[in-house]
């Protein structure tokens, strides 16, 4: 099964739901228009389908080889990356100040979906580079920017972020890596970092590591962490590469999935200290790194949705090709393609409906991020930033939790053959599993959502978005889609009651509220996804009434939205019960009883 880029679906979401026209109207986007964006997506689709997707299985089978600190990537990866970089895909959304093309984040997100769906292991390399570039562009000195950003923007150099240590997983207060001033403005970095994605590889000549470390006089905890640029090769004054820095990959992890992405254990300072350069002010490294982490969290949400799309395509292909058993209710005894069987169709629709809801909500968040960054009105900027802050943990957490369910359904549709590696369905499930852990587990996203993003602002942004959803429910009923509107309204009752619970109880009983935080995140994902599919249904109904476009395409949008309303939105009732009534039992059982 080869990947087919869902260009029509992406175009629909960009133009009808995410608001490409509004993003194009922002300052700096004067050259952006639907025709240009169409051309970009079409070209990205060709590269994804013809160059990157064929390497997905190859990379899974071959993985990476480590020999004396040198990582050799899977066959074809180096050539594909060079073509990717030379064609300008790394620089698409980067500011022209650093040699980029300056496209809005929404447009970059559309291409990012294609890279992630075609080959998620490959896509992680430019994703981390762009996150590192984002952090440096906001916080580094002009000298660091001039030295590193143009090469990173062009894709000639790649970037990483080095946070995690053996004793410090998500708790970065435990970081022990050291940074000792040399006296010439540089620092000697020493320590070990683990789980460093694309920390070492052979696709480019230099790798720019962003490393969290402590200065000798740093205060304890997260307030004493600084951020440093530590290149694989030092850079001379004229921009040429100098000596090899004292940084080395000492091992690569043997993982469940994403085998083609080298996950490295990096050692700094084995020979006396790696040369590093302080980014911004001392002891503010964690806040700087969060610039990168927020971008990465949204990117991981795209990964989850994209892998789900790939698993769905694989399942559809197999369901149409696999012939087994007679059709239920038919007099013809001949076996039929399993796509005719009701439960197969239910599973496919469960996959499809969630993917379409996720794509719409994710792209809506991408457009909100553009507005938060570039809107000329300060009040509008603040409003959209609040929307971004609220939605990022939902997009990251909901998309990545559900891709595990969606990819598992893909295996189930294949039956026994899904458990056999040869079909490829199992790879999607294995690759997807890490996404709910990357850049903060679902539990961490959910704590962020209930604490900083809901309780601390008294639910203001949550209530505003739920109000938007309620307006759509009313429009659905007025447009003759009453059942969809009623289903959305019923789900909104649960969303509102649980929001009030989080706002009212988080300060009084934070542990109890935290026990229901992941169900709250999922509930919000389902409801806001239903809001977006309700909007899609309204557009589709109007297009059909006006006789515009592909009637079959818009009929499918209506059917998918109706399925979501019937099968997904009712799940909010059970989730609400878990949030409002189930937290006590989670906390009541003594540790010894487990």
What residues are annotated to the active site? Answer: 439
Q: Which residues contact 350 (CB under 8 A, 6 or more apart)?
A: 406, 409, 563, 567, 568
Structure tokens at 107: 């447009």
Q: With helix as H, strand as E and coil as C, how does 304-330 read?
A: HHHHHHHHHHHHHHHHHHCEEEECCCC
Q: Which residues contact 191 (CB under 8 A, 6 or more apart)?
A: 165, 176, 177, 178, 213, 268, 269
Neighbours of 545 (CB within 10 A): 10
Neighbours of 4 (CB within 10 A): 16
Ramachandran angles phi, psi of 515, nearest 5°: -65, -25
Structure tokens at 436: 């709910």
**How far is residue 82's CA from residue 39's CA, in Å, rounded to a whole number?**
21
**Three-state SS at 283:** coil
Contact 125, 55 (CB under 8 A): no
Ramachandran angles phi, psi of 415, nearest 5°: 65, -145
| Token pair 């769905």 in the structure block, residue | 312
CB burial of 199-212 (b: ≥16 within 10 Å; e: otherwise) equals: bbbebbebbbbbbb
Neighbour-count burial of 219, counting CB atoms closer than 10 A to its CB (0-12 exposed, 13-18 middle, 19+ buried): exposed
**How far is residue 401's CA from residue 404's CA, in Å, rounded to a whole number?**
6
DSSP string for residues in 79-137: HHHHHHHHTTSTTTTS-GGGT-----HHHHHHHHHHHHHH-HHHHHHHHHHHHHHHHHH
**How far is residue 576's CA from residue 520's CA, in Å, rounded to a whole number?**
7
**How far is residue 417's CA from residue 450's CA, in Å, rounded to a whole number?**
41
Q: Which residues contact 261 (CB under 8 A, 6 or more apart)?
A: 120, 121, 122, 124, 125, 197, 198
Measured CA to CA in angstroms, residue 207 lies from 157, 322, 466 at distances of: 6, 46, 44
Long-range contacts of 337-346 (CB under 8 A, 24+ apart): 338/413, 344/319, 344/413, 346/567
**Could you tell me the end-to-end alpha-carbon distance of the chain, in angstroms, rounded to an integer?**
44
Instruction: Give bridge partners of residue 195 from the DSSP assignment.
Output: none
Q: Which residues contact 549 (CB under 8 A, 6 or more apart)?
A: 543
């Amino acid at each position: 099964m080869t990947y087919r880029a869902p260009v029509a679906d992406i175009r629909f979401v960009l133009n009808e739901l995410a608001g490409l026209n509004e993003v194009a109207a922002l300052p700096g986007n004067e050259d952006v228009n639907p025709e240009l964006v169409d051309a970009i997506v079409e070209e990205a689709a060709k590269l994804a389908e013809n160059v990157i997707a064929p390497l997905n299985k190859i990379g899974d089978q071959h993985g990476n080889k480590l020999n004396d600190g040198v990582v050799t990537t899977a066959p074809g990866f180096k050539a594909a990356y060079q073509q990717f970089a030379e064609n300008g895909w790394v620089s698409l959304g980067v500011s022209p100040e650093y040699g980029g093309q300056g496209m809005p984040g929404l447009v970059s997100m559309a291409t990012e979906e294609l890279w992630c769906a075609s080959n998620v292991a490959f896509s992680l390399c430019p994703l981390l580079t762009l996150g590192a570039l984002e952090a440096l562009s906001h916080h580094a000195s002009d000298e660091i920017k001039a030295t590193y950003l143009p090469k990173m923007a062009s894709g000639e150099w790649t970037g990483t972020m080095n946070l995690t240590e053996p004793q410090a997983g998500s708790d970065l207060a435990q970081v022990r890596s050291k940074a000792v001033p040399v006296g010439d403005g540089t620092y000697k970095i020493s320590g070990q970092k683990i789980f460093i994605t694309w920390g070492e590889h052979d696709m480019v000549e230099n790798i720019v590591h962003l490393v969290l470390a402590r200065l000798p006089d740093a205060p304890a905890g997260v307030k004493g962490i600084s951020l440093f640029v530590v290149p694989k090769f030092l850079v001379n004054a004229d921009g040429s590469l100098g000596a090899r820095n004292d940084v080395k990959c000492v091992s690569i992890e043997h993982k469940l999935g994403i085998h083609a992405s080298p996950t490295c254990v990096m050692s700094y300072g084995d020979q006396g200290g790696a040369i590093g350069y302080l980014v911004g002010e001392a002891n503010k490294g964690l806040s700087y790194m969060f610039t990168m982490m927020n971008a990465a969290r949204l990117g991981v949400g795209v990964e989850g949705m994209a892998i789900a799309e790939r698993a769905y395509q694989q399942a559809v292909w197999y369901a149409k090709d696999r012939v087994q058993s007679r059709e239920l209710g038919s007099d013809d005894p001949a076996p039929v393609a399993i796509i005719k069987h009701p439960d197969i169709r239910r599973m496919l629709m469960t996959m499809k409906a969630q993917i379409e809801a996720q794509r719409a909500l994710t792209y809506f968040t991408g457009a909100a991020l553009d507005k938060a960054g570039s809107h000329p009105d300060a009040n509008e900027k603040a409003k959209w930033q609040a929307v971004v802050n609220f939605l990022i943990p939902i997009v990251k957490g909901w998309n990545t939790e559900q891709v595990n369910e969606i990819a598992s359904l893909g295996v189930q549709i294949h039956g026994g053959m899904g458990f056999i590696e040869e079909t490829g369905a199992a790879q999607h499930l294995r690759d997807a599993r890490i996404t709910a852990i990357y850049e903060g587990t679902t539990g961490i996203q959910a704590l962020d959502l209930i604490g900083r993003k809901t309780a601390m602002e008294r639910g203001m942004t949550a209530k505003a978005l739920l109000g938007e959803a309620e307006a759509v429910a009313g429009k659905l009923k007025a447009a003759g889609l009453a059942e969809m509107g009623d289903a959305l309204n019923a789900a909104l009752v649960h969303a509102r009651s649980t929001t009030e619970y989080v706002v009212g109880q988080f300060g009084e009983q934070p542990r109890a509220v935290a026990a229901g935080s992941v169900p709250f995140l999922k509930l919000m994902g389902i409801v806001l996804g239903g809001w977006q599919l309700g909007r899609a249904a309204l557009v589709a109904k109007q297009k059909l009434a006006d006789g515009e476009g592909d009637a079959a395409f818009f009929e499918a949008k209506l059917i998918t939205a109706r399925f979501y309303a019937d099968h997904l939105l009712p799940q909010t009732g059970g989730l609400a019960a878990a949030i409002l009534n189930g937290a006590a039992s989670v906390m009541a059982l003594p540790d010894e009883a487990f």
